[in-house]
Amino acid sequence: MKLKFAENIAFYETGDGSNTLINKTTNETYHSKHGAVQESLHVFIKTGLEFILSTGHRPLKILEVGFGTGLNAMLTADYNCIEPFIYHTLEPFLVPLDIIKNTNYTRYLKQKHLKDYLVDQYKKQTEQELNPMTLYLGNCELKVFNTSLEEFQSDLKYDLIFYDAFSRHSQQEMWEGETIAKVVSLMAPGGVFVTYSVTGNLKRAMRDLGLEVERMAGAPGKREMLRAIKPKI
């Protein structure tokens, strides 16, 4: 099967100087307009990764919904380069190589080489039409699945979910019943789910599925975000 790529996207500079992409059909950006890097660091790294590591949870299996530019993946590898961990990420519409290559994210990484590694392996594996692609970023084994959450099947249960879907204004189905039940079914007991927004539907769906829901302070420019934890039994 041929890989599927995103179309009609362009760069957009966000408030902290880091760039994101805008889908010119829906006008939806891939990150907060207030700051792409600062949002990813706050929501996914600090409130998600740092939190789960502080509970002593090891080894770590992460599932990201929406790989996009690879920013969350690179920041994760940059944060935790000591311990090996698994990072699976879903992307039904891959960002074309020339765009991945031209993001300005290297300047925000402590390990500057991570982006070049990502670009190099992404190039080779998209040329070979591999699905999933397997990319190595330090101790992080990254598998990029060119598929949607709805179609994704896995025997693995994940400890940490980075839920980075487009907002409910452009993709309402990603924030409701069946889709939320699907992602929760992929979580391990004690697993943690983080996302950049809070909606009534999402909270209700999570609670109905037995998760403990916490409203957390949002990334700069946003009031709140959501973290939810699956019970251990």
Ligand X SMILES: C[S@@+](CC[C@H](N)C(=O)[O-])C[C@H]1O[C@@H](n2cnc3c(N)ncnc32)[C@H](O)[C@@H]1O
**Contact in structure between 49 and 77 (CB atoms under 8 Å):** no
Beta bridge partners of 194: 162, 227
Nearer to ligand X, 22 or 190 (CB): 22
Nearer to ligand X, 67 or 85 (CB): 67
Angle at 6 between CA 196 and CA 128, to 5 degrees: 115
Nearer to ligand X, 30 or 87 (CB): 30
Q: 157, 151, 162: which is closest to 59 by C-alpha?
A: 157
Give the distance from CA 1 to its chain's centroid.
24
Please give the Cα distance from 91 to 228 (Å, whole number). 23
CB of 173 to ligand X, least distance (A): 8
Nearer to ligand X, 86 or 190 (CB): 86
Q: Which residues bind ligand X (CB under 6 A)?
A: 6, 30, 65-69, 71-72, 90-93, 148-150, 164-166
Nearer to ligand X, 48 or 66 (CB): 66
CB of 217 to ligand X, least distance (A): 20
CB of 126 to ligand X, least distance (A): 15
CB of 147 to ligand X, least distance (A): 8
CB of 56 to ligand X, least distance (A): 27
Give the distance from CA 24 to its chain's centroid.
21
CB of 72 to ligand X, least distance (A): 4
CA–CA distance from 134 to each of 121, 126, 140, 157 (Å)?
Answer: 8, 11, 10, 19
Nearer to ligand X, 58 or 175 (CB): 175
Please give the Cα distance from 188 to 230 (Å, whole number). 8
- Tell me the one-letter amino acid at 18: S
CB atoms within 10 A of CB 77: 25
